């Protein structure tokens, strides 16, 4: 007789792991026990051949389980009479990993569609293999009393399923049925043309609520629908008037809207799909994929007016499946006003969504953690995260050693934060832009929630250099002895190095819109010689003034003035006047004076602002209603052709070297005024930027002996620029590192801050 004590760390709670262990022990005629603890799962087995049990446990765990570490200790036999599942332990320091929310499994869908099943058409059907996880957990270990399901007492039938080891719902914490689970409710609102209104009918419940929701959607109405992590605004995606109404009420005139299709077959009517896209769409994570729109799609034209990409996802809750059974596609966009967090409570929805929705379809299961949908731009086997949230958060990353607990507060825009415990780094879900009170609250509540779940008391905080960022002020306000500032673009490159386990120095190219530089200027197109620990600015785009500061972002023609007047002075005014004839003499005089005296005119080396400038010169953006719109329109134009004049801007000086784009911009402006195709000029500009990136890397290889290049920054979400740049670098025999598990935008910065801080701590402790 042999007895093993086995401790397993990883995603092993909420994925059917304990019943799996129980049945596996029975299969191998073993006695003992299994239980959840805050650190993972503990198992004791004894019998004649426990090693076979252990081998199968490691090699064939449940589909959704992730075994990060398995520790085995051999003990003296204890004489257990049977195998049992014991009550959870709560006293240990928690390092159990929380499972992300899991899309509804095929078995539950079949039950929900079976007229003879007691869960027929029940919108909250789930089992051990699917359903809410992270969004309902209030504390560890993952047991029903520690979730937002604690208010729903099990009926006898559900209690029998919950306690029967041979049932698919054994110890499924969100288990529910129509008798004992959450209840669907629909409330109609007199919207008064989007001005907000009062309830105009008695609430409808259950199937009646669902049928009325269908009727309202057919009528072109806007619904607010409560999902796993918050509310969506929903309308018929093939109804142009309904989509326009939703845009008007939400204040989102141009930015693309995501759609949900009931199946792969329906999705293929609207977008082009390859095999890997289908696999991702049907995976249990169910992200939004950005896919090429088909010319004959019946989707409303205003779904995605600025580009040819449609954000598509499949249903991931039973309610979604029921809601879509009579539609080819529904708009599913986060229910929030611009730059506010997603609405997650019924009380909040009643206040904040009355001016947007004609009806609210909600339920009475509270959301413990609000959570947006994940967004991915697929590219064959290579993914590009745009937003890492539902389905992926809070799955952690493993550190190369144990460190003191750390909080990395992340950036101001596209914020995520990171927390470490032992040798794990937990990256939060997407928080958003910290530009108002609601998102600041969301940041603090989310950080406190994750620290509470894992009982993490940070000893170190990492933060951005920008002195006015809320995250910086928050970090500096903490009573911690160790506070580590990390420059924004160093964090970008450090995140790529961390993801690839790269410990040495590389050439880092960071291209984005805004990052506070060490000299106080706004950086954004930077060549760095960097490791996770150290960074040297080796090259950058030449500085240009931003007349009016934020106004230059909202009105990109101002950046064109800044770039051209910096080099050509008042000689550029006749060219600028021809490019922008609608500008008045007083505007030209005001901007000229702003640049001369540097009033509200910061300097920037931003790649994002450079793309804005070229878009303005070529006449693409009329209104900047969302971040990056000018660059999106410029890329859309560039992708219409593969030819154009060869444009270039040379490298000047060294240590650091500088690329001056003014001659290039002047050439583009003159060719545009001479009648050359703007799409060809847009393509030529993309190629010129890629050529400049490679030229800078080539220079650094010659001076520093480095041949590995890491690319990061939101500008590299431009697939055309990334493709041309990567191809050119590969042809030059550079080894190219790209982010795959993290976004290239600021959603990766918290991980980079943490990696840079850990590298400094390691050097200090060495």
Q: Within this chain, do residues 46 and 195 fall inside the same structural domain, yes or no?
A: no
How many separate domains does the chain show? 2
Domain boundaries, position 304: 184-376
- Residue 381: inside a domain: no
How far is the C-alpha of 521 from the C-alpha of 544, rounded, in Å? 10
- Please report how many Cα atoms fall inside a 13 Å half-sphere around the Cα of residue 439, on the Cβ side: 21
Q: For tokens 């389905």, what's the residue?
A: 391
CATH number at residue 48: 3.30.70.100
The answer to whether residue 672 is domain-embedded is: no
Q: Which residue has the higher pLDDT, 66 or 335?
A: 335
Rounded distance, CA 6 to CA 4, Å? 6
One DSSP character per residue, 660-689 reads --HHHHHHHHHHHHTT--HHHHHHHHHHHH
Domain boundary pick from 376, 398, 426: 376
- Rounded CA Rg of the chain: 28
Sign of the CA dihedral 572, 574, 577, 578?
Answer: negative
Residue 319 located in a structural domain:
yes
Binning the chain into helix, strand and coil, the percentages to the nearest 5 are 35, 20, 45
Instruction: State the average pLDDT for the chain.
Output: 93
Q: What is the Cα–Cα distance from 145 to 115, expressed in whole angstroms?
A: 32
Question: Does 162 sit behind a cis peptide bond, omega within 30 degrees of 0 on the bond before it?
Answer: no
CA dihedral 272, 275, 279, 280 (to 10 degrees): -50
Which phi and psi (to 5°) does residue 263 adopt?
A: -160, 170
pLDDT in the model for residue 30: 95
Q: Is 429 helix (H, G, I), strand (E, B) or coil?
A: coil
Q: What are phi and psi of 258, to 5 degrees?
A: -80, 150
Distance of CA 22 to the CA centre of its chain: 36
Q: Which residue has the higher pLDDT, 421 or 528?
A: 528
Q: Which two tokens stand for residue 586?
A: 């007083």
Domain annotation covers residue 17: yes
Q: How far is it, in rounded angstroms, from Cα 258 to Cα 752? A: 29
Report yes or no on 423 lying in a domain: no
Q: Is the pLDDT of residue 747 over 60?
A: yes
Rounded to a whole number, what is the largest CA-CA distance in the chain? Answer: 94
493: confidence class by pLDDT, cuts 50, 70, 90: very high
Among 583, 353, 446, 539, smallest CA distance to 135 is for 446
**Angle separating helix axes 585-597 and 557-568, nearest 10 degrees:** 60
Kindly indicate the confidence band of residue 383, based on its pLDDT and cuts at 50, 70 and 90. Answer: confident
Given 85, 116, 148, which residue is the final one in a domain?
Answer: 85
How do strand 375-379 and strand 288-292 relate by DSSP bridges? parallel
| H-run or E-run covering 484 | strand 482-486
Convert the pLDDT of each residue in 170-206 to its tens digit: 889 999 999 999 999 999 987 655 556 666 678 999 9
Q: CB-side exposure of 219: number of CA atoms within 13 Å? A: 11
- Residue 220 maps to a domain: yes
CA distances from 292 to 351, 623, 722 (A): 37, 24, 17
pLDDT, one tens digit per residue, over 621-662 is: 767 888 999 999 999 999 999 999 998 888 888 889 999 999
Query: Alpha-carbon distance 393 to 371, whole Å?
Result: 9
The pLDDT score that the predictor gives to residue 621 is 74
Q: For residue 578, how many other CB atoms are within 10 A of its CB?
A: 12
Residues 192 and 323 in one domain: yes
- Of 74-88, 183-197, 452-466, 686-700, least confident by mean pLDDT is 183-197
Q: What is the CATH number of the domain that holds 238?
A: 3.90.870.40
8 Å CB contact between 201 and 227: no
Task: Answer yes or no: are the C-beta atoms of 664 and 620 closer than 8 Å.
Answer: no
Task: Give the three-state DSSP class for 550.
Answer: helix
* Phi, psi for 361 (deg, rounded to 5): -105, 110
Q: What is the pLDDT at residue 671?
A: 96
Which of residues 43, 65, 85 is at a domain's end?
85
CB-CB contact of 730 with 468 (8 Å) = no
- Confirm whether 343 is domain-assigned: yes
pLDDT band at residue 96 under the 50/70/90 scheme = low
Residue positions counted in the chain = 766
Do the strands 460-464 and 482-486 form a parallel or antiparallel pair, or are they unpaired? Answer: parallel
Using CA atoms in the order 144, 146, 150, 154, what is the torsion angle rounded to 10 degrees?
10
* Structure confidence at residue 557 as a pLDDT band (50, 70, 90): very high
Does residue 734 have a pLDDT over 90? yes
How far apart CA 570 and CA 576 sit, in angstroms, is 10
Q: Are residues 81 and 198 in the same domain?
A: no
* DSSP-derived secondary structure for 498-512: HHHT--S-EEEEEEE
Q: Is the separation of the CB atoms in 234 and 317 below 8 Å? A: no
- Residues whose CB falls within 8 Å of the CB of residue 348, separated by 6 or more in sequence, listed in order: none
Query: What are the tens digits of pLDDT across the range 261-279?
Result: 999 999 999 999 999 999 9
Q: Which residues pair with 659 in a beta bridge?
A: 541, 651
Distance (Å) of CA 649 to CA 437, 513, 582, 721: 43, 20, 29, 16
How sure is the predictor about 382, in pLDDT bands with cuts at 50, 70 and 90?
confident
Tell whether 81 and 192 lie within a shared domain: no
Report percent pLDDT > 90 for the chain.
81
* Residue 395: predicted pLDDT: 87
- Examine residue 126 and state whether it is found in any structural domain, yes or no: no
Average pLDDT (26-32) is: 94
Run of H or E residues at 376: strand 375-379
Query: For residues 47 and 28, what is the distance between their CA atoms, to the nearest angstrom?
Result: 8
Tens-place pLDDT, residues 275-312:
999 999 999 999 999 999 999 999 999 999 998 999 99
- Taking 80 as the threshold, does the pLDDT of residue 361 lie above it? yes
Predicted TM-score (pTM) of the model is 0.91
């Amino acid at each position: 007789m042999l007895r093993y004590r086995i401790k397993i760390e990883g995603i092993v709670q909420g994925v059917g792991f304990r019943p799996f262990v129980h049945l596996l022990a029975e299969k191998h005629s073993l006695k003992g026990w299994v239980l959840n603890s805050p650190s993972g799962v503990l198992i004791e087995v004894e019998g004649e051949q426990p090693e076979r049990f252990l081998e199968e446990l490691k090699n064939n765990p449940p589909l959704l389980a992730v075994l990060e570490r398995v520790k085995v200790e051999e003990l003296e036999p204890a004489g257990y009479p049977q195998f049992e599942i014991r009550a959870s332990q709560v006293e240990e320091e928690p390092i159990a990993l929380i499972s992300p929310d899991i899309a509804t499994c095929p078995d539950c869908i079949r039950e929900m569609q079976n007229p003879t099943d007691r869960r027929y058409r029940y919108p909250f059907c789930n089992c051990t293999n699917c359903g809410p996880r992270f969004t309902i957990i209030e504390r560890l270990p993952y047991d029903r009393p520690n979730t937002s399901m604690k208010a729903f007492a099990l009926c006898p039938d559900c209690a029998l399923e919950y306690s029967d080891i041979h049932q698919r719902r054994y110890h499924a914490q969100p288990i529910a049925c129509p008798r004992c689970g959450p209840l669907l409710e629909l409330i109609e609102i007199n919207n008064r043309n989007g001005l907000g209104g009062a309830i105009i009918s008695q609430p409808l419940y259950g199937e009646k609520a669902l049928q009325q929701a269908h009727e309202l959607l057919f009528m072109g109405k806007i619904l607010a629908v409560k999902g796993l992590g918050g509310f969506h605004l929903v309308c018929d995606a093939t109804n142009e008037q309904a989509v326009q109404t939703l845009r008007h009420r939400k204040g989102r005139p141009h930015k693309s809207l995501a759609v949900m299709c009931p199946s792969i077959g329906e999705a293929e009517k609207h977008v082009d799909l390859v095999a890997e896209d289908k696999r991702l769409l049907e995976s249990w994570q169910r992200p939004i994929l950005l896919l090429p729109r088909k010319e004959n799609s019946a989707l409303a034209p205003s779904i995605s007016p600025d580009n040819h990409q449609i954000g598509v996802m499949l249903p991931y809750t039973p309610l979604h499946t029921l809601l879509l059974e009579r539609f080819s596609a529904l708009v599913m966009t986060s229910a929030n006003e611009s730059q506010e967090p997603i609405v997650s409570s019924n009380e909040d929805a009643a206040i904040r969504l009355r001016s947007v929705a004609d009806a609210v379809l909600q339920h009475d299961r509270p959301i413990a953690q609000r959570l947006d949908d994940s967004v991915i731009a697929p590219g064959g086997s290579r993914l590009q995260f745009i937003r890492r949230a539902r389905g992926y958060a809070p799955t952690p990353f493993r550190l190369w050693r144990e460190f003191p607990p750390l909080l990395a507060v992340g950036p101001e825009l596209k914020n995520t934060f990171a927390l470490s415990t032992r040798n794990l780094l937990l990256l939060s879900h997407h928080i958003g832009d910290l530009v108002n009170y609601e998102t600041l609250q969301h940041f603090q509540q989310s950080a406190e929630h994750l620290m509470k779940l894992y009982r993490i008391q940070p000893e170190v905080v990492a933060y951005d250099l920008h002195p006015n960022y809320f995250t910086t002020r928050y970090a500096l306000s903490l009573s911690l002895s160790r506070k580590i500032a990390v420059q924004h673009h160093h964090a970008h490159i450090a995140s790529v190095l961390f993801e690839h386990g790269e410990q040495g120095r590389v050439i880092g190219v960071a291209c984005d819109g805004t990052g506070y530089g060490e000299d106080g200027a706004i950086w954004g197109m930077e060549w760095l010689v960097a490791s996770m620990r150290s960074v040297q600015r080796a090259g950058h785009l030449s500085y240009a003034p931003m007349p009016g500061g934020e106004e230059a972002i909202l009105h990109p023609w101002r950046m064109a003035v800044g770039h051209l007047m910096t080099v050509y002075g008042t000689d550029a005014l006749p060219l600028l006047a021809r490019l922008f004839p609608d500008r008045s003499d007083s505007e030209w005089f005001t901007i000229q004076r702003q640049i001369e005296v540097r009033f509200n005119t910061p300097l920037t080396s931003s790649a994002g602002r450079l793309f804005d400038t070229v878009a303005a010169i070529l006449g693409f953006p009329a209104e900047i209603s969302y971040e990056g719109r000018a660059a999106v329109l410029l890329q859309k134009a560039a992708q219409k052709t593969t030819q154009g004049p060869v444009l270039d801007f040379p490298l000047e000086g060294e240590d650091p070297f500088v690329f001056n784009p003014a001659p290039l911009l002047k050439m583009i402006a003159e060719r545009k005024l001479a009648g050359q195709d703007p799409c060809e000029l847009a393509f030529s500009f993309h190629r010129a930027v890629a050529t400049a990136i490679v030229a800078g890397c080539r220079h650094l290889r010659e001076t520093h002996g480095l041949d590995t290049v890491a690319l990061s920054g939101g500008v590299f979400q431009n697939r055309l620029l990334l493709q041309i740049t990567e191809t050119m670098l590969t042809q030059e025999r550079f080894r190219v590192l790209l982010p795959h598990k993290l976004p290239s935008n600021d959603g990766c910065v918290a991980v980079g801050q943490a990696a840079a801080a850990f590298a400094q701590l390691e050097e200090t402790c060495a």
